Amino acid sequence: MYKTGSSESKATYDAIVIGSGISGGWAAMELCKKGMKTLLLERGRDVKHLVDYPTANLNPWDFPHRLNHSIKEMRESPRQSPHTDAGDELFYVNDTEHPYIETKPFSWIRGYQVGGRSLTWGRQCYRLSDLDFEANLKDGIAVDWPLRYKDIAAWYDYTERFIGVSGQAERLAQLPDGQFLPGMELNCIERHLGDAIRKNDQSRLLTIARVANLTRGWDGRGPCQNRNLCSRGCPFGGYFSSNSSTIPAAFQTGNLTLRPYSIVAELLYDADKQRAKGVRVIDTLSNESFEYYAKIIFVNASTIATAGLLLNSKSHRFPTGFGNDSGELGHNLMDHHSSAGASGVHDGYQDSYYKGRRPCGFLIPRYRNLSPDSGLNFIRGYNIQGDGERQGWGDLGTKPGFGEDFKKQLTNPGKWSIWMAGWGECLPYHDNKVTLHSSETDKWGLPQLEIDFSFRENEIKMMEDISKTSEEMLVNAGFKEVETFNYHKPGGATIHEMGTARMGRDPKTSVLNGYNQMHAVKNVFITDGSCMTSSACQNPSLTYMALTARACDYALKELKRGNI
């Protein structure tokens, strides 16, 4: 159901969810399944599963510029365009239409539509462990997580069973196993690298990525067709998205109202009841404002937008932003770095090839700083992600040649190659932050967000180690032409931003408690990346989903007890 303009007939719901991406979709489904009449607000357009994936089956030659952007498109969207092509750009914003202020270079990658970035995410699903949940406390950095692995393990199980995660159990303490569908297969060069790594260092291993791509049909979806066109939207439901899974499940309950084209401008505070009473929404089509009311509000607008919304929600009680008693709102912004690594080619396995386009690569789980006496010049760690493939015409086309012999060269596969890079932890620095600009506004009159973020010495030293150890692993496995790299990508480029409304044990130093509940306003919950107390090095979306399901369960129990 879509409500807009004069058709508004109901303003009060049991619950309001702001944002329809990975965590917002989960919140909507969980609340609806628990009998809550729920309003799901999305600032962008509607995208219906199957119906609204117009590029899903197109070939490169079906696009005017093949899959390339025009110069005009790159100028209008300098931050989004490096992350998109002509096949999926419809699921990303235009930077000119949606500006923000960068104190230092920062790529804020966004998708304003129903489903948000769940349509374009990388689908990697890894659990955090107590190595991660205890890290801040042991290192004396920032604040301690208010939960441990045992508090969320069952919710990881619950989430994985619903979304469908393919992968391989490896019995690693630093990367707990989950509820897996059969994993996708490594190819011969990846297996070769994995065998060499294990032979040279028993503390390291190479495994297939754990991804929300289905290796068999699951809950009426899939299986994955190995097309590797996931970011265009999958008509087969071969990977998890809000559009293919949680939002349809919420609709099936009869309890969901979806309202796209709806920017939430502020949360409304009831000073007498000391609770949030609702939200003020701007209709992006008509520019009209509406107010909606609910018993419970889940804020899932994504980390930076959530911080902006809360900072803009000022009142006599909260003059510096909604729930900001600690002064930490907007601070401690984190993003993984994924710039450093190495690549190489191998002369072997010339009689082997592969079929299809597997939509994931391999993973080398974290192997640094697993014990406190590592002797390294940085703390925390990283995992290595990469893939092996045979060089094709795109690689070989840069070599000199002409005529029939050149064409034959392009149609014969080249050598096997490996590309691998580290996804590394970023520490929670207080002065990496999101603020409201004092004068610049967007076209709806809302303050533009100003992002001040940089990687620091610890991350830089970690990148150096990533390149060094990646090179060593390739050389030891017999690869040639091994080259290290560091792309020096800005913050935001890994698209794992988190931390601006962190969880913690003490209301004086954190925004949320251990159940993602706002310390200062008991009926507001935040379960997107904002809540993260540290970043770990694992792709974080699985943790967002597990925390969301857990928070919804807690919220309903507290509501029944009369505590909300």
Q: What is the pLDDT of residue 401?
A: 83
- 239, 250, 241: which is closest to 165 by C-alpha? 239
CA distance linking residue 76 with residue 95, whole number of Å: 6
Query: What are the DSSP calls for 309-372, one per residue?
Result: HHHH---SS-TTSTT-TTS-TT---B--B--EEEEEEES--TT----S--S--EEE---SSSST
Mean pLDDT for back-to-back runs of 10 residues, the chain (564 residues): 46 98 98 98 98 97 94 95 96 97 98 98 98 98 98 98 98 98 98 97 96 96 96 98 98 98 98 98 97 98 98 98 98 98 97 93 98 90 97 75 82 92 98 97 97 98 98 98 98 98 98 98 98 98 98 98 96
Question: Sign of the CA dihedral 252, 256, 257, 262?
Answer: negative
CA distance linking residue 356 with residue 358, whole number of Å: 6
Encode pLDDT of 73-122 as tens digits: 999 999 999 999 999 999 999 999 999 999 999 999 999 999 999 999 99
CA distance linking residue 250 with residue 139, whole number of Å: 42
Cis peptide before 372 (omega within 30 of 0): no
Distances (CA, A) of 410 to 151, 348, 396: 54, 19, 6
CA distance linking residue 236 with residue 234, whole number of Å: 5
Partnered with residue 385 across adjacent β-strands are 363, 421
What's the N-to-C CA distance of the chain in angstroms?
A: 28
pTM of the predicted model, to two decimals? Answer: 0.96
Q: What is the pLDDT of residue 363?
A: 98
DSSP label at residue 377:
S
SS3 content of the chain, % helix, strand, coil (to 5): 25, 25, 50
Question: What contacts 362, CB < 8 A, 6 or more positions away?
Answer: 186, 190, 193, 194, 206, 207, 208, 209, 385, 386, 387, 388
Q: Which residues of 209-240 are buried (b: 16+ CB within 10 A; e: fewer)?
A: bbbbbbbeebeebbbbbbbebbbbbbebbbbb
Within 10 A of 562 (CB to CB), how many other CB atoms are there? Answer: 6
Partnered with residue 334 across adjacent β-strands are 498
Please say whether the beta carbons of 366 and 175 come within 8 A. yes
Please say whether the beta carbons of 119 and 233 come within 8 A. yes
Please say whether the beta carbons of 13 and 294 come within 8 A. yes
DSSP label at residue 62:
G
CA distance linking residue 412 with residue 395, whole number of Å: 12
Q: What is the pLDDT of residue 1?
A: 42
- Residue-range domain boundaries for the chain: 1-56+87-164+240-334+434-440+497-563, 183-231+337-424+454-489
- Alpha-carbon radius of gyration of the chain: 24
CA distance linking residue 475 with residue 366, whole number of Å: 20
In the structure encoding, which two tokens stand for residue 421, read together? 């890079």
Question: What contacts 225, CB < 8 A, 6 or more positions away?
Answer: 236, 238
Q: What is the pLDDT of residue 249?
A: 98
Encode pLDDT of 37-66 as tens digits: 999 999 999 999 999 999 999 999 999 999
Please say whether the beta carbons of 496 and 97 come within 8 A. no
Q: What is the 3-state secondary structure (H, E, C) of 139-194?
A: HCCCCCCCCCHHHHHHHHHHHHHHHCEEECCCCECCECCCCEEECCCCCHHHHHHH
Partnered with residue 416 across adjacent β-strands are 346, 390
In the structure encoding, which two tokens stand for residue 329, read together? 């709102």
Q: What is the pLDDT of residue 9?
A: 53
Please say whether the beta carbons of 124 and 494 come within 8 A. no
Distances (CA, A) of 211 to 9, 182, 230, 244, 248: 42, 11, 12, 16, 21
Q: What is the pLDDT of residue 2?
A: 44
User: Which 3 state secondary structure label does DSSP give 384?
Assistant: strand
Instruction: Tell me which fold the domain 1-56+87-164+240-334+434-440+497-563 belongs to.
Output: FAD/NAD(P)-binding domain (3.50.50)
- 355, 313, 358: which is closest to 123 by C-alpha? 358
The one-letter code for the residue type at 46 is D
Q: What is the pLDDT of residue 6?
A: 33
Please say whether the beta carbons of 535 and 425 come within 8 A. yes
